[in-house]
Amino acid sequence: MRLTVNHLAKAYGFLWALRDVSIDLPAGAFVAVLGPNGAGKTTLLKLLAGLIAPTTGAIQFDGVTLAPNNPLARKQIGFLAPADHLYDNLTVRENLCFFTSLYQRNDRTVNIDRALETVGLSQRRDEFVGNLSSGLKCRVSIAKWQLLQPGLLLLDEPYGVLDGNGVDLLESFLQSHCQRGHIVIMASHHVSRALKLCNRALILHQGRLSFDEAKQQPWPSFAQAFGEFLPHGESWNS
């Protein structure tokens, strides 16, 4: 399992949101994508998810070219975002049954109930998702990806709606997901949390890849690279 990105770029009219990004990730990679607002983080994730088409460049995952018109390739990809799509007029359990069927997975009720127990939603399995808070909806999404186990899991600012227990659930799932040999790519403004989990970090600035290194202890090159985007006197690990 490997993700290869070659000279990826995305333009909206005359505005380049992403320019000439190339990365190569092996199985088990956990990548933190960092950078200031407008750096191109969400654009990169949407391209990797096949939600938008690149202007130039190519993406390959496990030897298959990823593209919006390639549904077989997209079955290997999960995208967890604050607005992760759930159906408000279906119950929690019905949502999970529906999504697993879309991936041609007919999980038994016992598997779905086990996933709901893992995220603390066993007692709310028959509630309509529309009645849940944003944090609980995020837990439903965690349960969804636990069931589907995508080879490439993308996350866009996942911490914002989670409480402390929800954060622990998410991080435990992500760590176990990488240990299974899957690839995780997470864009986040919570730098210290992202660095605690990742084994590699990318920094985007004005759509370009300005930093790409495997995690080190200590990591002076990262501190210097990320420090360029912080106000004077502010620390990246605060």
Query: Sorting pLDDT into bands at 50, 70 and 90, what band is 238?
Result: very low
User: Taking residues 55-69, what's their average pLDDT?
Assistant: 87
Q: How far is CA 31 from CA 26, 77, 86, in A?
A: 11, 15, 26
Which pLDDT belongs to residue 81? 79
Top-tier CATH class for 1-76+153-229? alpha beta
Which pLDDT belongs to residue 72? 64
> How far is 228 from 148, CA to CA, in rounded Å?
39
Q: What's the farthest any 2 CA atoms get from each other in the chain? A: 55
Query: Sorting pLDDT into bands at 50, 70 and 90, what band is 104?
Result: confident
Output the six-digit token pair for 96: 């999970």
User: Taking residues 73-102, what's their average pLDDT?
Assistant: 87
pLDDT in tens, 124-183: 999 999 999 999 999 999 999 999 999 999 999 998 888 999 999 999 999 999 999 999
Which pLDDT belongs to residue 39? 94
Whether a cis peptide bond, with omega within 30° of 0, leads into 218 is yes
Q: What rounded mean pLDDT belongs to the chain? A: 90
Which pLDDT belongs to residue 83? 62
- Range list for CATH 3.40.50.300 in the chain: 1-76+153-229
Percent of the chain with pLDDT over 70: 91
User: Taking residues 21-36, what's their average pLDDT?
Assistant: 97
> How far is 237 from 167, CA to CA, in rounded Å?
18
Contacts of 130 (CB under 8 A, 6+ apart): 88, 89
